[in-house]
Structures are given as structure tokens and as C-alpha cells.
Chain A
Amino acid sequence: MSVHQWISRGLPAALSLLLALPAGAQSFRVQCPTSTITHKAANNNAEPLYLGPTYTPPTTPGTAADYTTGFHSNAVNGAIKCQQIAGGDGYASMADGTQTYMFSFGPLSGLADIANGLPGTQFPSVFNTSATSLAPGDPATTNDPAPGTFSYNGAVGLTPEVVKLETIYDISEGCTASLASCTGVTPNTVTVILNTPSPFNLNDLVVVSGTGSPPAGYDGTWPVSAVNIPNTQFSAGPGQGASQAFQFLAVDNSVSPARAITGLPEITASSTATAGSLAELNGHVDPRQIMDVGVMNGNIPAPLMAIDEDDEFFLTLTNVGMIMRPDLFEQHTVHFHGYPNASAFYDGVPDASVAINIGGSFTYYYLAPDAGTYFWHCHITPPEHLQMGMVGQLYVRPRQNRWSGYLFDGLLAQQGDLRTACNSASDILCSNPLPAGGTSKAGAQNDGKTKYAYNDGDGSTSYDVEYPLQIHGFDPNFHFVGMTFNPEGLTDMKDKYFLLNGRSYPDTVTPGPMETPSTDGVKHFSQPLPSIINIPVGKKALLRISDLDVTEYQTLASLGIPMKVIGYNAKLLRDQAGNNLYYNTNSITLAGGESLDVILDATGYTAGQKFFLYTPNLDHLSNDAENFGGLMTEINITN
């Protein structure tokens, strides 16, 4: 580095310290609502069948509308999905045995699934659970001596709310002498007067117990209906007694219609009655668990995400800091690469939005975009954070998977909702018009077993098994100076390790997660995803290929079995007249920032055949100094 560079980098850095915002208190948290205004049902823990449009256009054109207009509550599609990731650092093992330092993301939800090569994305019922105990480095720490024993998939750190428990001095129903005023009090209004000021707020759920009057008595869980109740039990000063009292309505919901509970006797100076808050899981976390599991737990590729069209996705990024670089106060973000009509706020570009400081969490929110193979990465100082390893995979599965019957009719049904329709006459950016020549009640049907890459309407993107494959490259010199407190040269960045899912051959065909001993002495799964492609005879495999190399274009070739390219940049390859533009090839070339969908059809092959997926950029078939390995994996035809 020249002196001139020191000045240009150092001076603004010093100035920027003056602009730094004050750091807030430590505030990790997660967010995964069980229901939303889009998914109002209490249970959104499974993908319902696609039944038709959620919204239909107003029947009277020219009238004002909002999100309630034309809404069909009986056709609410999709579910809620949540995931948590840590932004920090870690180590990965290169195929020549070198341990490489990374800036990286690690899983903080779906730990068991990710260790099994699956997405860490979970329904609320799985995400919103609390782990009893997690060891530093889990799941590797638990799984290593006893493979497969680690099974927790919920949010790391999620912990029940601290219970506020108060003793009750007096509890009464209806208008009694304990009340200073009976205005608005109904026969089933219960007034609770505590021995100390009440910590409960309006609408809080309060558990009353120890009154000795169940069933259909005071004991139970009730929403607070009023607070600050003037009373005669405590009236030492203005308002003093009122702050100790709250009210709720005693209602028996076990019968239909619900019945007001009346006639309960007043209890005064009880020695056993208490009112307490619930031990809710409401997004508060225990930071010890997050630090135990999240620190030095970086993965390459970063945790896999998968959602379905119509899902609401809540992704919480928790910045645990980089232990190996305590000098850095690096923020992180998540850029959902390729999302159509992304909002600038959730786009993850720190310059155009907000970046998440160490010690903080931020929840990104998206309604799932059109089906396709996307990918994600940190967008802070991209040449550095991407090269250092903050890259991951993300795909959206189509509505068509959830349609029962003729696929053409499923796509036809999607035309009924302007959000999901594709009318190429009126939208130049829609990608999957109805297939040319298709007709209703004819053609391919969804048998409930086959999956599809896109809403093709003709079954042409069907597959049986899918493999996400991410191309990346590491420059070991850059990683070394990144670990050793030296300024990194950007112009001369040169990859020496060529990675498929974070591994070089032959590690790409090592089953199961790979572990890397780390400087904290704890086991960590560093590269959870092998790239072994197994295709049963006569079946089809979908390869979801993305590239986040930051220095050069890479080519991936199939030695033998042809590649059928069906999608490019997360869009179906189809012209606006509905003709499929798929093509067969034996090699594809991608830049960093591109994705492509390929189908390998094992029809006509025999079990036991082995093919190679490798790069004909022959200098990329190496692992640094080893002239063997690199960007290569194996395709096996199986029974």
C-alpha cells in the first residue's frame, strides 16, 4: 500500500468517527409472528394448497381500493417462515488442508437442518421454541461424538419472558365497596388490587392463581381490560391506590357462545392469591446462548434459505462481532440478490438503508417474490465481505407445487390476482405467461410428488431432486491479510481456491457437514453442504446454480450428461408469446451476481454411472499450490 492510499483511506475514516451514532444497549432479539394481517389465522405452520387468487380486482373499475378490497379470506396462500443468522467470523477448511479465516454468517436457527444440508428456514411453530441447553459450537459439539443426536431447529437464544409475579391483596367482582367508583363496571368486571403498584398494562395477559375459586372462578389467564382503578383499599394519597389495581372481564370461553361469569365473592387479604405475567416467547433472547453458538460459527456458504411463493419471510440478522478482528466494528447486512421490486429499506445496501451494528439484531421482511433461484450476501464493503465469505443461497419455490390438478389451470388461476398474473401485453417484466398452445383441463398434472422450478403451466420444469450449488472463490492472500490486521489489496485480488458450496474437490464429495478446528478450541461446522449429486435412474435433478465470485467469470461443465437450462437470473426462460426457450448444453458460464437453473435428466442412464461436473477453466482445477482439485464434483446415477 502506498502512502497515498493511507491518506485517502485514513482521513475519511477519522472524520467519520465524528458522525458515529451512539451505540445502543446490547439488543439482540428475534421476530417471528405466529400470525399477521396477511396471514390472520392463528396457525400458519404449514403450506396450504393453492386454491386461487388471494385478491381479485375490484368489480367496479375506477373505485378507490386498499389492501382489504377484493381480499378472499378463504384463499390466503402461503405461510409464515422465519430464520435467524449470525454475522461474524469463522474458519473454513480448504481441500489442501489449509484453514482459512472468513468474515461469515452462521446459522442461529434450523441448526439441525443445516447440518443435514437443508435450509434453516422454519415455520413459527418450530422457530418459536426455546432450547433447554446448547453447547458452544453446536450442533458440531453435540453431533461430533454422537452423530445425529442434535435435533434443535428453533431460534437460538429465544427465551421466555421474565415472569412478573405479584401478590393480590383484594379481588372482587362487580360493584363493591372496594371500588371508589362503579362507572362502567359490569357484573363480570373483576377488580384486582395488588399489594404493590401493578406492572401490568392494558391487554397484557395476566395469570391469576391461588384464589381457591376454580373452576369458572377468578383463577385463569385474563387480558387486562383497565388499569389505574381508584379504590378504597389503598387510599393513602392521590392515585397511590389506583396504581395498584387493574381490572379484567371474567368470561367462560369454554362454552359457545362465551358466557359471562358472575357472582364471585370478594376475597380480601388472601395469603395465597397471585397475579403474574406469562412466560411468553416474544422475541426476547438470552445473549449467552447466541454468543455461545454464534461466535466463530461462520459457514461457507452462509445458511441456506428456502421459501415458497406467498410466504411472509422474517429473517433476523444478529451481529455477534468478529472475535478475530476486535479492532473492527464491522456492520453487516443482508442483500436479497435479484428480488424484483425490492424495497430500498430491506435491500441490505448500507448506503441506501441502515446497517446493523455489533450487538444488534434486525429483522428483514419480505413477501416471497416470484419463484426462482436467488442468492444473498452481505453488502458492506462488498469486495471485502464477499471475498471473505459472506455469501449464501436462497430460493423461492413456485405456487405450482401447491396446486392440485392440471398445471395449466393452476397458472390460469394465478392470472386472477394482479399480483401473481403475467400479462405480457401490459407488463414487460413478467416472465411466465401461459405456455403457448396450452389449454384448460389438458396436459400435465401435479401428482403431489413432483416439484417444479417455476410456474410453467406445462410441467416442463419438473424435477425429483434438487441441489443448490454456489460457485465462489477464495484468495488466500487476501484472507490472510484480512486476519492479520493488514490492509487488503483489492486490485490484485486473485482467487486460488475455487469453491462449490464452499468446498473444493475432493471435499465436495465428502458426505455430511465439514468441521474446522477454530482458534476458540471449540468444534464448528464450517461447510455444511456437500455437492454430491445423486440422481435416481429415470429421474430429474434441478441444479440451482449461483455464482458469487468477486473476481472473475467461471464456467461449469458436465462431462457426459447434458445440462438443460430452464431458468436464468431467477426467471423462467420463456418468451412473451409463451414459447419455452430452454436449451441443452454441456457448460454454463456465470459471473459473480448471476444464477441459472439446470435440469439433468437421468432417463436412459444406468445406476452406478458416474459423471463429473467440473470447470474447464483448467487453472481452476487446483487448490492453491495443489495441481488437483478445485471447482469439481461428482454426479452419480443411483437406483
Chain B
Amino acid sequence: MNSLIMATASSKGRLLSLLATAATLLSATAAKAAAPGITGPTFNLNATDAYITQPDGQMVYSWGYGCSSAPTGFAPALNAAGFCSTMQIPGPTLIVTQGQTVTVTLTNNLPAAAGNTSILFPGFTATATGGVNGLLTKEAAPGGTVTYSFVATTPGTRAYYSGTQADLQVEMGLYGAVIVLPSSVPAVCGTLGSTTGLPTTNPGGNAKARAAAGEGEFRLATAAYSHPQACYDREYIFQFSEMDPNIHAQALAQVNAAKALAQPAKDCTPGAAGCSLNVPTEPYRPAYFMINGRSMPDDMDPNYAPQYLHQPYNGNPHMHPGELTLLRIVGQGRWQHPFHEHGNHVRVLARDGNLILSQTDSTKLAGPLLFTTTTTPGMAMDGIFYFTGKGLNWDMYAHNPASNDGQAKLTCTPDANGYNTAVPGVLNYFEWCQDHNKPLEVAPFGDVGGGGPATLPDPALFANGAWYGGSPYMGPNATTRATGCSAGSAAGSCGTTGTTSPSGTIANSPSTEAGYAFMWHSHNEREITTNNVFPGGMLMMMLVDSREFVIDESN
């Protein structure tokens, strides 16, 4: 037993890379995220039970919202492989446009013993028709339906969740998100699919660069709100929740007992008014910590991957330098989670669909800048993130005018903000020009000339991470140049100047992606585990990719 303990303990650091290997093997293509959902404004939803999967192999009995009939459509438009099961966690993301009258008809197909169920739409004035009276809203009795109707008065991201025996029903998985797109988008933000994009300020013309690179359009809109400061180039949604498997096991036991023996759940007849399960929800001991219903590494598999029939949404953001990336962060479940975004701060635009503007100048934002965005149950926030590498004080593309490689000799022409945005098709679009050609190391490293402040030591002293691009630099070209022989390498320089072996960098290939990987995770680090195993839980890798890598979010 001792030897097993020792082997286990000594290699925890590498466990992540191996789990990542497994994740990569499952998905042949790189999996991206976007903010997928179904379109309306009429939705026919269903609440029922199913088993969801966890990376430790457990299938957890859960309840969730799903589609009772085929939805009007899926969005974003290129997300062609979408499906909406009869039950999914989180529930279908409902995508509507400001001003629309939204109608949600909910059918209660939960086991009869579970009793009634319902949906609350905080932030909207919903009218409920049909169903039976409940404490917070009208409810659908077992087998019955209830219809909610509201006008999507203001844009933004919001949560929806069960208002019936919510301590149990939300824990079991009855929650989801509503995205309301603004009815009018500021002209400065451009239009979907066009190259009009953003002006050179704020901070660049990324739509043109996207078109020049032949990348698809995966946004739901070009602005999160009807405000020029709310333009964005890319978007992702993150719903945080946790599960205590003991509660789920008890719920299943009571449901089965009720089915098998017609035994009353709470001294009452299943299906009778006011009758529901009697599962204690305290003490609470969650062991699964999920983002968009999945635990790491499952969250980095594609959207709608067939192995996650009841967990269709992933969490695997990618972006190019300078792209304004909208984060739609939703707290579900019952705990707060400090979501730490590595790489830069997030400007909070809004809470629960309420844009936060300066009290003295409504053209200016007033939300805080955060590197840790706390998720709170029932609360949603929208924020903007970007990464440019500005101020690193070294050239992250490893440009070197003395190189034999043409790609090392690209130029950088600063715009009014100091970024290289004049030519949309260049590989170093949005490079920060003040550091252009500025070397990192004194000792040469691959084909990249020395002269800079830092010296990189013997790579044999390192352990490489699964998402390590293979060199300090961003992009396959720079990484190949720095770590091995490229077509333009000087004679005799190959393999003699000290290279970092890219072995083990399996999830971010040095030759095809070599992006900058940043961990986005709960900083209650206990929650980046799956049922006692690290890594897992509320953790994902975000990748900033150079323009050589085409970001395809169609799955």
C-alpha cells in the first residue's frame, strides 16, 4: 500500500496533463464554446429526470429543464449541431430580443413524487396562466402545465430557476439562463457578419481581422446593451453550480420507493396537491463543482458532444489578442464562487441586466474592474475581457529583424492606441508595438536573438504543462522558430542553441496552436476538484490564440 500512496502523491502535478490527454482524445477537433442556446420567443419546456455524467465515472440522478418539442431554432447561427434534450443541465439558454413577448410553457414530467414545479424569471414581470397556485408563482402539477409570459424589457443575461421547493429542486438541477439581445445596437458596434466592426478605438477593428482570417461569426449580437461601450467581438457564458451527491441519492431512493410501493413521500400520496419529496438539504456537502453543468475536463469537450446528452454546454473560451470578449457569468446552485480570470481584469458592464453607468456621464461605464468575479446564486453579470500582452516589455511574437525567417520580420504599425491594427490580415494583428522586436533573453533561444533582460535556463529543469505552447512566445510560427528548426533557420543553428522540448504539450500543440493558455477557475481552490480528485470541478483553460490559428466555434 505504501508504494501506491507514494506514486499517487508524487505525481499529482501531472495528473492534469493526463486527464487533459483523455479529454483531447475524445474530441478530435478543438472544442470552443460561444454562448449557445435556443431561440424563441415561444418556448415549450419540460422538467424531467435523467442521469448526468461526471468525470469520475459517476452518473448522478438529476432533474432539469429541457425541450418538450423542437425549439424554434438554435443560436448562434453556425452552431448547426445543436440539440435540446427533454432534460438538460443547465436548462436551455433562452435567447430572445429586447421588446419581445416571451412565452414559456412548462410541462411537469418529473416523477410524480417530486410534486409540483415552476420557473421564476427574476428581473421580468412574468404573468403565469394555467397550473396551480404556488408560493412564489403558479406551478405545474405532476403531468400538468403552466405558462409564463413576460416582455423582455431590458437586455442582458439573467438566471431562471425553479420557485418550488427550491432548496431541493435547484440542487437537483432546475435552473438555466435567459439572454436578451438589445433591440437596437449602436452603429459603432457594426452588424453581425459584416466587417464594419468597431472603430480603431475601443480598441480595434476585429471584425475586419475576423473576416480576413476567414473565421465564422459566432456572436449573438454585436453589443450586449444599447450602449457604445458594450460592443463585443466574442462571447461566452459560464453558469456555476455545485451538487451534493447524497441529496441526489436520497431523492432517487424516495422516487423509486414511491414508484415501487406507491409509498407516500411525505405522508402523502405522490401526485397529490402539496405532496413532494422529503429530502433534507442540510448539512450540505457538495462534491461536484460544475461550470455549465460539467466538471473539468468534461467542460472543455465540445458543445453538444454526444456523450453529454443532458449537459450540452461547454466552457472552453478562445480569443485573439485584442478581441473584446463578453463574459456572461451566472450564479446557480446555492454557494458563491470566486471565479478567477487569469490574464487580465474583467470590466463589469451590468448586474442582472442592469447596465452600470457613471452618475455624471451616462456615456461612461462605472462597473468595477475585477480579476475575481464572484458568482452569487441567482445573480448574473456581464463583463468585458480582453488580452493584448501590452506592457510585457518583450515581444511575445518573438520578432527579430536579424532572423532569416520572414515571419520574424513582420512590422508593427501603431494605431492611436499603440496597437498594430492597420492591416486586418496580418499574423500580428493587435500587437503592442512598443515592445516590437524587443528580445526576452540574453542567451539565444532557438532562432530568437538575445539581448534582452531575462535568461532562460536549461529546459531539463522544467516539467512541461499540457497547455504549454512550447516556448515563451505566442503562435505556432514563433514557437517553432524558438524551439526548433524552421525553414528559415540559420545553418547550424538547429538543435544547438538550447530548446525547450515541446513534449507533453498535448492540448495546445506547438505546431498548430501554441496559444497563451490561462486557467479560469474557482479560487476557492477546494472547488477545482471532482469528488476529492484534483484536477476537476470549476476549472477550464482559456486560450489566447495568434491569428495563425482559426478559432472555429461551430461545435
- Give chain A's interface residues, CB within 8 Å of chain B: 1, 4-6, 8-10, 12-17, 19-24, 27, 29, 31, 33, 36-38, 55, 57-58, 61-69, 312, 314, 325, 327-331, 335, 337-338, 340-347, 349-357, 359-363, 365-367, 369, 379-384, 386-387, 418-419, 423-429, 431, 436, 485-487, 489-493, 549-553, 568-571, 573, 575-577, 579, 581, 591-594
A344 CA to B466 CA, complexed, in Å: 13
- Contact (Cβ within 8 A) B361 A577: yes
Counting chain B CB atoms within 10 Å of each CB, which of A31, A340, A360, A581 scores highest? A340
Structural contact, B10 and A24, CB atoms closer than 8 A: no
Q: Confirm or deny: B151 has a beta carbon within 8 angstroms of a beta carbon on chain A.
A: no
Binary A-proximity of B185-204 (CB < 8 A = 1, otherwise 0): 00000000000000001110
Most chain B CB within a 10 A radius of its CB, from A37, A55, A337, A356: A37
- Provided the pairs A8-B533, A37-B451, A593-B372 are in contact, do residues A369 and B391 lie with their beta carbons within 8 angstroms? yes
**A569 and B372 within 8 A (CB):** yes
Decide: B372 and A594 in contact? CB cutoff 8 A. Answer: yes
Contacts of A314 in B (CB 8 A): 453-454
Whether the Cβ atoms of A426 and B462 lie closer than 8 Å is no
Residue of B nearest to A283 (CB): B455
Question: Is residue B266 within 8 Å, beta carbon to beta carbon, of the partner chain?
Answer: no
A37 touching B453 in the complex, CB below 8 Å, given contacts A13-B11, A418-B417: yes
Least CB distance from A327 to B in Å reads 4
Secondary structure of the B contact surface, majority rule: loop
With a cutoff of 8 Å between Cβ atoms, the chain B residues found around residue A581 in the complex are 366, 368
A-contacting residues, B188-227, CB 8 Å: 201-203
Q: Which segment of B79-87, B380-388, B483-491 sits at the interface?
A: B380-388
* 19 CB-based A-B contacts, threshold 8 Å: A5-B531, A13-B10, A13-B11, A14-B11, A17-B7, A67-B437, A335-B342, A345-B471, A347-B342, A352-B467, A355-B462, A357-B463, A359-B461, A365-B440, A428-B365, A570-B371, A576-B229, A576-B358, A577-B366
Q: Which residues of the partner chain B approach A351 to less than 8 Å between Cβ atoms?
A: 16-17, 20, 465-468, 517, 519, 541
Query: Distance (Å) between the CB of A471 and the closest chain B CB?
Result: 13
- B524 and A490 contact, CB distance less than 8 A: no
Return chain B residues, CB-CB under 8 Å to A15: 18
With CB as the reference atom, state the residue of chain B lying closest to A13. B11
Report the Cα distance A489→B285, complex, angstroms: 13
Is A23 a contact of B460 with CB atoms below 8 Å? yes
Least CB distance, B104 to chain A, in whole angstroms: 33
Q: Which residue of B385, B437, B454 contacts A31 across the interface (Cβ within 8 Å)?
A: B454
- Complex Cα–Cα for A551 and B471 (A): 34
> A361 → chain B, closest Cβ, in Å?
7
Whether A550 contacts B534 by the Cβ 8 Å rule is no
Given A381-B13, A551-B524: A357 in contact with B462 (beta carbons within 8 A)? yes
The closest CB in chain A to the CB of B336 belongs to A553
Q: Is the CB of A355 within 8 A of B463?
A: yes
Whether A57 pairs with B517 at a CB distance below 8 angstroms is no
Cβ-defined partner of A428 (8 Å) among B17, B229, B395, B523: B229
Selected from B5, B360, B384, B439, the residue in CB contact (under 8 A) with A577 is B360
Contacts A9-B8, A350-B465, A365-B453; A344 near B518 (Cβ below 8 A): yes
CA distance A354 to B499 in the complex (A): 13
Given the complex of chains A and B, what is the CA–CA distance between A369 and B393 in angstroms?
10
Binds A, one of B32-40, B107-115, B307-315, B408-416: B408-416
* Neighbouring B residues of A55 by C-beta, 8 Å: 434
Chain B residues with a Cβ closer than 8 Å to the other chain, count? 127
Residues in A with CB closer than 8 Å to B436 are: 65-67
Q: Which single member of A14, A381, A431, A568 contacts B12 (CB below 8 Å)?
A: A381
Q: Are B413 and A491 in contact (CB under 8 A)?
A: no
CA–CA, A608 to B135, complex, Å? Answer: 56
CA distance A107 to B56 in the complex (A): 39
Asked if A342 meets B342 with Cβ closer than 8 Å, knowing A9-B8, A12-B18, A352-B516, the reply is: yes
Q: Are A12 and B19 within 8 A (Cβ)?
A: yes
Tell me, yes or no, whether B390 is within 8 Å of chain A by CB.
yes
A residues near B524, Cβ cutoff 8 Å = 549-552, 591-593
Q: A13-B10, A573-B368 are in contact. Are A344 and B534 (CB under 8 A)?
A: no
Bound-state CA distance A33–B523 (Å) is 35
- What is the CA–CA distance of A169 and B386 in the complex, to the nearest angstrom? 65
Is the pair B500, A64 in contact by a Cβ cutoff of 8 Å? no
- Asked, given contacts A493-B526, A593-B372, whether A429 binds B344 with beta carbons under 8 Å apart, the answer is yes
Contact in complex: A362, B461 (CB < 8 Å)? yes
CB pair B468 A6 closer than 8 Å: no
- Chain B residues near A342 (CB, 8 Å)? 342-344, 518
> By the criterion CB–CB under 8 Å, are B372 and A591 in contact?
yes
User: Would you call B464 an interface residue if the criterion is a C-beta within 8 Å of the partner chain's C-beta atoms?
Assistant: yes
Whole-angstrom distance from the CB of A270 to the nearest CB of chain B?
36
A66 touches B342 (CB 8 A): no
B435 contacts chain A at the CB level, 8 A cutoff: yes
Specify which chain A residues have a CB less than 8 angstroms from the CB of B541 in the assembled complex. 351-352
Q: Is the CB of B386 within 8 A of A312?
A: no
The reply to whether B15 and A361 form a contact with Cβ atoms under 8 Å apart is no
Q: Which residues in chain B, 265-302, are within 8 Å of chain A measured between CB atoms?
A: 285-287
Nearest Cβ on chain B to A46's Cβ, whole angstroms: 18
Report if A360-B387 is in contact (Cβ < 8 Å); known contacts: A487-B8, A593-B340.
no
A569 to B389, CA, bound (A): 19
Contact among B5, B14, B525 for A382, CB-based, below 8 A = B525
Interchain nearest-CB distance for B404 vs A (Å): 18
B166 part of interface (Cβ distance < 8 Å) = no
Cβ of B318 under 8 Å from chain A: no
Residues in A neighbouring B11, C-beta threshold 8 A: 12-14, 16-17, 329
B345 at the interface (CB under 8 A from A): yes
Inter-chain contact B13/A592, CB cutoff 8 Å: no
Residues 404-456 of B at the A interface (beta carbon under 8 Å): 411-414, 416-418, 422, 433-440, 442, 451-455
Give the chain A neighbours of B471 by CB distance below 8 A: 345
**Does B396 touch A at the CB level, under 8 Å?**
yes
A8 contacts which chain B residues (CB < 8 A)?
56-57, 533
As a 0/1 sequence over residues 325 to 347 of chain B, the CB contacts with chain A under 8 angstroms (1 = contact) are: 00000000000111010111101
Q: Does B131 contact A (CB under 8 A)?
A: no
| Best-buried of A24, A353, A551 by chain B (most CB within 10 Å) | A353
Q: Among the listed A33, A64, A345, A571, which residue makes an inter-chain contact with B413, where contact means beta carbons less than 8 Å apart? A: A64
Does B14 lie within 8 Å of A425, measured CB to CB?
no
User: Is the Cβ of B437 less than 8 Å from the Cβ of A66?
Assistant: yes
Q: State whether B13 touches A350 (Cβ < 8 A).
A: yes
**Is there a chain A Cβ closer than 8 Å to B64's Cβ?**
no
**A487 with B393: CB separation less than 8 A:** no
A22 to B478, CA, bound (A): 26
Pair B9/A490 contact, Cβ less than 8 Å: no
Residues on B with C-beta less than 8 A from A384 are 12, 534
Q: Do A338 and B467 contact each other (CB < 8 Å), given the known contacts A427-B417, A581-B366?
A: no
Which chain B residues lie closer than 8 Å to A37 at the CB level? 438-439, 451-453
Distance of A592 Cα from B395 Cα, bound (Å): 32
Contacts beyond the supplied A36-B452, A594-B523: 4 A-B pairs with Cβ under 8 Å: A337-B371, A382-B528, A423-B417, A426-B417
Minimal beta-carbon separation of A377 from chain B (angstroms):
9
Q: How far is the CA of A5 from the CA of B533 in the complex (A)?
A: 7
B184 interface residue (CB < 8 Å to A): no
List A contacts of B435 (CB < 8 A): 67
Which residue on A lies nearest to B419, using beta carbons? A418
Is the pair B523, A352 in contact by a Cβ cutoff of 8 Å?
Answer: no
Query: How many Å from the CB of B21 to the closest CB on chain A?
Result: 9
Q: Which B residue's beta carbon lies closest to that of A8? A: B533
B60 CB to nearest A CB, Å = 14
For residue B359, CB closer than 8 A to chain A, the reply is yes
Q: How far is the CB of B108 from chain A (nearest CB, A)?
A: 33
Which chain A residue shows the least CB distance to B458?
A24
* Interface flag for B28 (CB, 8 Å): no
Which A-B residue pairs are the 3 nearest by beta carbons?
A593-B523, A24-B460, A360-B461
A569 touches B285 (CB 8 A): no
Q: Is B369 an interface residue (CB 8 A)?
A: yes
- Asked if B532 is at the interface (CB within 8 A of a chain A CB), the reply is yes
Indicate the member of B337, B371, B392, B472 with the most A CB atoms within 10 Å. Answer: B371
